[in-house]
Amino acid sequence: MEFSHVRAVDEAVADALVGETDRQRNTLSMIASENHASRAVIEAQGSTLTNKYAEGYPGERYYAGCAYADAVEELAIERARELWGAEHVNVQPHSGSQANMAVYLAMLDPGDRILSLELEHGGHLSHGHPANFAGQLYEVEQYRVDPETGYLDYENLADIADEFDPDAIVSGFSAYPRQVDWERIDAVADAVDAYHIADIAHITGLVAAGVHPSPVGIADFVTGSTHKTIRAGRGGIIMCDAEHADAIDNAVFPGVQGGPLMHNIAGKAVGFGEALEPVFTEYAERVVANARALGGTLADHGLSLVSGGTDTHLVLVDLRDSHPDLSGGDAEAALEQTGIVLNANTVPGETRSPFDPSGIRAGTAALTTRGFDEDAMREVGDLIVRILDAPDDDAIIEAVADRVDELCAAHPLYD
């Protein structure tokens, strides 16, 4: 990745692009929402389709010259239907948040009621946080995980639903390490006559590969992003039954978006094609095995994992028991000095602030793409603990950084 065309006209941007590529090569990307897309996906996203306006849908565009845009979007839709088994797919949302926005716009009126998981318990801003459009346009009530176990408390959800009488229940989460029982949430939604919207942004790849149960065909709407565990082009997706197809398509365009980002849709098509290969199932299985190996190592060193472990690609560590004087923000900063890149995260029962919370969240999707196996993940877990135990010790920081360099060199990226 030379970026020679950029460099010919813009040294500053070329420097930043080379710098970012080198940063990804030379650090361990453990942010649970990130992955390393293939060169093919990146090439498609950087293609001439960035120039094309194609408002509308394949065969029904508002502009001429859409033959190739149609071809790419049809491929993305067809492959997504095969991956997730949905009757109807819309691949135009620019992001997971805009996918959620379109579903709300399609099915709810302003002032309607949404019941969703609280952000600090693993929910997402677009599920109704007051700082987000969803919290401003709709009346929002929130459910929580069981503070003792860290697992979803389905009975508590049913009680709140009974009392609140929501128009929609949102399931699917950003920092929840356990399998979700979609049927159970759907039964709660049915009992109060609410739509069930399952946001699988984080686990799209795990669901496609069958290593996490699928909400498709259970929830009324399934939303997600397309660049996390599924490792396709950046953006969002909506899946639903055929009966809601027109409402969803009209809500995406012209409801909340104009021209679709056709270059990103090309990246989705390419990435979905890659995910249809049998090797992707092995990848998804390794992502989960690696997360379990990482979590097991951290727990063996005495760290508290929310829910005690993981069934997915991520582990959520509550630092308050093992490292009461270390905030998640300080842990994130200390680890970044060594090239281990993850994020500070709120934990259930948070006692610090969202800007400097009590936990850290780590995911294994990107390292698994680089070929890390369970032994390597256990070593990464050991390195993380060495830093958490001595975040200000320069000698340890240097030793861990050296080992991170060796691990990166042993798992080359974008050669």
Least gap, CB of 156 to ligand DSN (angstroms):
23
Binding of ligand DSN by 368 (CB under 6 A): no
Least gap, CB of 367 to ligand DSN (angstroms):
16
Residue 32 or 114: which CB sits closer to ligand DSN? 32
Strands 56-57 and 60-61: antiparallel
- Residues linked to residue 305 through DSSP beta bridges, in sequence order: 317
Residues counted in the chain: 415
Longest dimension (CA), the chain: 63
335, containing H or E segment: helix 328-338
Q: How many CB atoms lie within 10 A of CB 199?
A: 30
d(CA 64, CA 221): 32
Residue 49 or 142: which CB sits closer to ligand DSN? 142
Least gap, CB of 32 to ligand DSN (angstroms):
6
399, containing H or E segment: helix 394-410
Report whether 238 contacts 222 (CB < 8 A): yes
Least gap, CB of 246 to ligand DSN (angstroms):
27
Size of the site for ligand DSN (CB under 6 A): 4
274, containing H or E segment: helix 262-275
Residue 96 or 391: which CB sits closer to ligand DSN? 96
Least gap, CB of 25 to ligand DSN (angstroms):
21
Contact residues for 10 (Cβ-Cβ < 8 A; gap 6+): none
Q: How many CB atoms lie within 10 A of CB 402?
A: 12
x/- binding map, residues 122-161, to ligand DSN, per CB under 6 A?
--x-------------------------------------
Strand segments (E) across 338-412: 340-341, 343-345, 359-363
x/- binding map, residues 13-42, to ligand DSN, per CB under 6 A?
--------------------x---------
Least gap, CB of 228 to ligand DSN (angstroms):
8
Phi-psi region of 43 (alpha: psi -120 to 50; beta: other; left: phi over 0): alpha
Residue 96 or 260: which CB sits closer to ligand DSN? 96
Report whether 93 contacts 82 (CB < 8 A): no
Q: Which tokens in the block code for residue 86?
A: 């949905």
Q: Which tokens in the block code for residue 290?
A: 């690696």
Residue 89 or 365: which CB sits closer to ligand DSN? 365
Residue 132 or 142: which CB sits closer to ligand DSN? 132
Residue 95 or 214: which CB sits closer to ligand DSN? 95
Binding of ligand DSN by 174 (CB under 6 A): yes
Which residue minimizes CB distance to ligand DSN? Answer: 33
Binding of ligand DSN by 327 (CB under 6 A): no
Question: Nearest Cα to 397, choosing from 406, 410, 388, 408?
Answer: 388
Least gap, CB of 124 to ligand DSN (angstroms):
6
Residue 69 or 100: which CB sits closer to ligand DSN? 100
The three-state secondary structure class of 34 is coil
Least gap, CB of 232 to ligand DSN (angstroms):
16
Residue 33 or 90: which CB sits closer to ligand DSN? 33
**Residues of span 72-131 touching ligand DSN by CB under 6 A:** 96, 124
Question: Nearest Cα to 71, choosing from 63, 82, 59, 62?
Answer: 59
**Residues of span 266-285 touching ligand DSN by CB under 6 A:** none
Query: Which residues of the chain form contacts with ligand DSN (CB under 6 A)?
Result: 33, 96, 124, 174
